[in-house]
Structure 1
Amino acid sequence: MFTRTEFHFRGPKRHDAVRTAIAERIVRDRFQGRARRELFAHELRGYSVFAVNNPGPLSLIDLRHEGASLLGAPTDAVRGRAHQAGRTLSQQLYDQTSAGGIVYMSRITNRECVAVYDRAVAEKLVVNAPVTAPIRLASLPTDPRALHIEVLEDDDRD
């Protein structure tokens, strides 16, 4: 899943996957302290999912495991609930290196995520499949369920 930010990068989430992308981009902490975990279908329609590959080398800074500590980055930058520390670290890496992006572990699913900076997207990535809205993805019904989320049709609104 790609997202635009003011921090000059787009973040595709790896194929292992759609579930982690939904957790990282759409869900985050929205159900914190709530018994009902529900999303309406329209909340998913604004996002797209597609497969990409990098036929050539793509230089990524590894923030998984001890990677962030070796760089001297604060733990909040890679595992914190708030986004600001991570955005600041990513902006510093963008400004001070020529890396094409970062690889890090999802705080929510503990799976690998890759954020590819805008400077590497057009040059390094190739779309392998047509862009598909998540609500139409064959795997989508299982991904929210695995996150204990019920997807409601828009006409089910209270």
Structure 2
Amino acid sequence: MRDRFQGRARRELFAHELRGYSVFAVNNPGPLSLIDLRHEGASLLGAPTDAVRGRAHQAGRTLSQQLYDQTSAGGIVYMSRITNRECVAVYDRAVAEKLVVNAPVTAPIRLASLPTDPRALHIEVLEDDDRD
């Protein structure tokens, strides 16, 4: 949802907007090589600050593509600019051989206990028939 609600008093989403997303638990039973972009990691690589903390995503996509092309890493670990929590992006080349799905895919609107539930972010989820 990133910056969608910046400067808005009403924070609403329609249920159909969430149906394209899913949440599931994964496990990596073996080693997964990640490039650490947290803290000073990106600076040590010489990456611009916009690549890891910028509002626009192009610099981050460019950095990630360069890391993908120039290394054999399975992905990156970085800090969310919104929540300041750790995030992991796993590259396609590591998904099939390194990750195991531990739980069935579930629609996020049903996961009320997760901190990423829209209601925990003070976002009201409207049913599609509530549209004007």
For this structure pair, what is the TM-score category when the shorter chain's length is used for normalisation?
Answer: over 0.9
Task: Please state how far the C-alpha of 1:136 moved relative to its aligned partner.
Answer: 2.5
- 1:83 aligned residue: 57
In 1, are the aligned partners of 2:36 and 2:78 still within 8 Å (CA)?
yes
- Do structure 1's residue 128 and structure 2's residue 108 form an aligned pair? no
Cα distance in 2 for residues equivalent to 1:34 and 1:67: 34
Q: Which runs of 5+ in 2 are unaligned?
A: none
Number of residue equivalences: 132
Q: Percent identity?
A: 99
Structure 1 runs, 4 residues or longer, greater than 3 Å off = none
In 2: Cα distance, 1:88 partner to 1:128 partner: 31
CA deviation after TM superposition for structure 1 residue 33, in Å: 2.0
TM-score by length of 1: 0.79
Q: Where does residue 12 of structure 2 map in the other structure?
A: 38
If you compute each CA radius of gyration, which structure gives the higher value, 1 or 2?
A: 2
Q: In 2, distance between residues paired with 1:118 and 1:35?
A: 39
Change beyond 3 A, Cα 1:142–1:70: closer
3-state DSSP class of the match of 2:129? helix
Alpha-carbon distance in 2 for matches of 1:75, 1:67: 11
Taking a change above 3 Å as real, the CA distance of residues 49 and 142 of structure 1, as seen in their structure-2 partners, is closer
- Superposed CA RMSD in Å reads 1.5
Contact in 1 for aligned 2:24/2:105 (Cα 8 Å): yes
Please, which runs of 5 or more residues in structure 1 have no aligned partner?
1-26
